[in-house]
Amino acid sequence: MSEDLLTKAASATYTEDDFETLSWNEHIRRRSGMYIGKLGDGSSPDDGIYVLFKEIIDNAIDEFIMGYGKSVEITIQDNMVTVRDYGRGIPLGKVIDAVSKMNTGAKYGSSAFSKSVGLNGVGTKAVNATSTYFYIQSFRDGQTKYAQFSKGNLVESADGSTTEKNGTLVKYIADPELYPDYKYNMEFLDTMLRNYSYLNTGLSLKFNGVEYKSKNGLLDLITENISETPLYPIIHISGKDIEIAITHGTENGENISSFVNGQNTYHGGTHLAAFREGVAKTIKEFYKKDFDPKDVRQSIVGAISIKIVEPSFSNQTKTFLNSKEVAPGGQSVRNFIVDFVSSELDNYLHKHPEITEPLLKKILESEKERKAISGIQKLARERAKKASLHNKKLRDCRIHYGDKDPRNQDTMLFITEGDSASGSITKSRNANTQAVFSLRGKPKNCYGLTKEIVYKNEEFNLLQAALNIEDDLENLRYNKVVVATDADVDGMHIRLLILTFFLQFFPDLIRQGHLYILQTPLFRVTKKKISKSSKIAKNKKKDDVEVIYCYSSEEKEKAIKKLGKDSEITRFKGLGEISPDEFGEFIGENIRLDRVRLSKDDVIGELLEFYMGNNTPERQNFIRTNLRSDLILEEIADKANV
């Protein structure tokens, strides 16, 4: 703590006047992160607007799970979300309380919702409190009641008779004060709704006129989302409160989706760990071979869905399962899943001998590859340990992703190139949660190379060691791995080489949503001698100078129009040109990150061959067609094939 802050703290008074009691909705609005995670603008799938959307859909899904209503109708128009389910409808006397009174709900142990995802009675209230317009109406046995709110405050309500079918109607518009400039990404919503359909066989979800419906559950999920031809037909097994699907491909890593009560737990938890254990154990026992579990699971593509009573999640966004028991006082989650997999997967393998040969072949290939580089791995680990003691490539942070600390979701590692860039980030970072890894020059183009190169190449070996991902992602040290390179030709090229490294050897890092690109401003527009009373959104004001940082030419033109044509314009060519004081603006609360994502249509081998393989006329034509700056076309084309 600085001397100024210490002085202020020492002189501050502490009286009854410092105390404040917030209303339920004001508390949610001021501390929204406690309820919905980060706010965001819709550019990331875990932004707040998707959490709100999911909270309303979850309630409709819960009705279907309990056996009421087989369809849900959803629309989004002009940022107004409308959801109509055909379940039982909220009891009319509780319509207002259900969406505006904390700790009020029907999911606190009653039999009305035995295996629901929303158990704390907060979700819909968070939607209400953070919306400028919120409307809810219940239809129940010929009677109806509606209530309209604004920012959680009741505007009006009424009741009466109706001819509508039973169910609940919700409409809301997320508050642009809390979610500035937000837009819904239809691809994110498409993925979410597809998952809901896979996990709730027979449910019809109609979104803006498009129906999402699945007949075969997780079998459909794997079939429709796998990006390569599986080595053998997908194994699909269902039981009471559990469903699994498994096959193998050829890509590195593990690609396993996990779900609890219809919730996509993309950060995993006790059920995913048990599933991974159960699959490795069963296959080892079936072949009567002491395979290394890593060899069994290499290139696996799978999914598991379970339903349990009163699930416990790590946070309100429900992406990591903490539950140790299937039900309070019942069988453990681990034993429930391992026992099911051990019995049913073993039976399946005995009944389908056509699967066992390609499966065994794949395991033996993975084992052979791993053993071939085992000696190199040992030497590489020793080099990494020594390097971590003596070099300055890694400026670590104090908190890590696996730590039991509420801030570990904020941990990130910036991968930079060059001393000036890494120095600026290091000086301006949050040392508690932000680490910096400095590359030395351009990394090698590792397309088409075996994993042996990871251990023989010092840069790759030390990066792998810094992330702690040699075996799997279970002990990943940072939640977000951020590629931070210059916004010029060389910077873009280095970015491609780093992406190639992760795509080639650690695609799970991307699949699980850990890899990001740091967006830094291209321009600084400065206006001197302005009035101190002048205010411009999203700007920095210091003394009599007003500064607007611009991330595109379009933003630059808007800034010039705002500040005047006599403004001073600076073009940033490299991260090293941005001072540490300025850098604090871009890696703190205002950080802009683009998540690197793989879609179901992205075949990693084909992707890398096109972009990073031998130079071809097709790639050069693609570059010329898609790049916006003619000045760097030829440079990129020349450098692409390294």
Take residue 297 and report the two structure tokens written for it.
Answer: 């699971």
3-state secondary structure 169-189: EEEEEECCCCCCCCCCCHHHH
Residue 641 pLDDT grade (very low, low, confident, very high; cuts 50, 70, 90): very low
The predicted pLDDT at position 638 comes to 46
Tally the C-alpha atoms within 13 A of residue 12's C-alpha that lie toward its C-beta: 9
Residue 317 pLDDT grade (very low, low, confident, very high; cuts 50, 70, 90): low
The predicted pLDDT at position 38 comes to 76
C-alpha dihedral sign at 623, 625, 628, 629: positive
pLDDT tens-digit map of 247-274: 999 888 888 999 988 788 877 788 999 9
**What counts of helices (H) and strands (E) characterise the chain?**
23, 23
The predicted pLDDT at position 231 comes to 94
Give the residue among 405, 414, 417 at the shortest CA–CA distance from 588. 414
More confident residue, 448 or 631: 448
Take residue 124 and report the two structure tokens written for it.
Answer: 């819909």
More confident residue, 235 or 187: 235
Task: Give the residue ranges of DSSP H helices in 78-206.
Answer: 95-100, 123-129, 186-199
State the chain's mean pLDDT as an integer.
Answer: 82
The predicted pLDDT at position 292 comes to 93
Place of tokens 């027979």: 202
pLDDT tens-digit map of 599-618: 766 677 777 777 787 766 77
Which residues fall within 8 angstroms of residue 294, CB to CB, at 6 or more apart?
366, 370, 471, 472
The DSSP bridge pattern shows strands 255-260 and 300-306 to be parallel
Give this prediction's pTM.
Answer: 0.74
Residue 525: pLDDT above 80? Answer: yes
Residue 222: pLDDT above 50? Answer: yes
State the CATH architecture for 374-519+594-640.
3-Layer(aba) Sandwich (3.40)
Residue 360: pLDDT above 70? Answer: yes
State the CATH architecture for 28-212.
2-Layer Sandwich (3.30)
How many Å separate Cα 345 from the centre of its chain? 30
Strand, coil or helix: 428: helix
CB 607 within 8 A of CB 600: no
The predicted pLDDT at position 39 comes to 81
The predicted pLDDT at position 606 comes to 75
Give 218-372's CATH code, choosing from 3.10.20.30, 3.30.70.20, 3.30.230.10, 3.40.390.10: 3.30.230.10
How does DSSP assign 279-309, residue by residue? HHHHHHHHHT----HHHHHTTEEEEEEE--S
CB 376 within 8 A of CB 454: no
More confident residue, 205 or 553: 205
The predicted pLDDT at position 283 comes to 96
Residue 642 pLDDT grade (very low, low, confident, very high; cuts 50, 70, 90): very low
CB 118 within 8 A of CB 57: no
> Going edge to edge, which strands form the sheet with 412-417?
394-395, 434-439, 412-417, 480-483, 515-519, 592-595
Take residue 137 and report the two structure tokens written for it.
Answer: 């109406």
The predicted pLDDT at position 632 comes to 44
- Whole-angstrom Cα distance, residue 549 to residue 557? 11
pLDDT tens-digit map of 480-496: 999 998 877 788 888 88
- Whole-angstrom Cα distance, residue 27 to residue 48? 16
Take residue 608 and report the two structure tokens written for it.
Answer: 């890398």
Residue 327 pLDDT grade (very low, low, confident, very high; cuts 50, 70, 90): low
Give the residue among 25, 145, 45, 38 at the shortest CA–CA distance from 409. 38
Residue 519 pLDDT grade (very low, low, confident, very high; cuts 50, 70, 90): confident
Separation in Å, CA 91 to CA 95, 119, 174: 7, 18, 25
**Domain residue ranges in the chain:** 28-212, 218-372, 374-519+594-640
Separation in Å, CA 84 to CA 59, 118, 133, 135, 633: 11, 18, 16, 12, 50
3-state secondary structure 246-269: EEECCCCCCEEEEEECCEECCCCE
The predicted pLDDT at position 640 comes to 46
The burial class, CB within 10 Å (0-12 / 13-18 / 19+), for 128 is buried
Percent of the chain with pLDDT over 70: 83
- Whole-angstrom Cα distance, residue 503 to residue 506? 6
The predicted pLDDT at position 635 comes to 47
Take residue 587 and report the two structure tokens written for it.
Answer: 């890696």
Tell me which amino acid residue 5 is. Answer: L
CB 446 within 8 A of CB 523: no
Take residue 94 and report the two structure tokens written for it.
Answer: 């509780």
- Whole-angstrom Cα distance, residue 93 to residue 157? 12
Take residue 39 and report the two structure tokens written for it.
Answer: 């706010």
Identify the DSSP state of 151.
T
How does DSSP assign 339-406, residue by residue? HHHHHHHHHHHHH-HHHHHHHHHHHHHHHHHHHHTHHHHHHHHHHHHHHHHH--SEE--S--TTSS-T
Residue 162: pLDDT above 80? Answer: yes
Residue 137 pLDDT grade (very low, low, confident, very high; cuts 50, 70, 90): very high
pLDDT tens-digit map of 67-92: 898 999 999 999 999 999 999 999 99
Residue 290 pLDDT grade (very low, low, confident, very high; cuts 50, 70, 90): very high
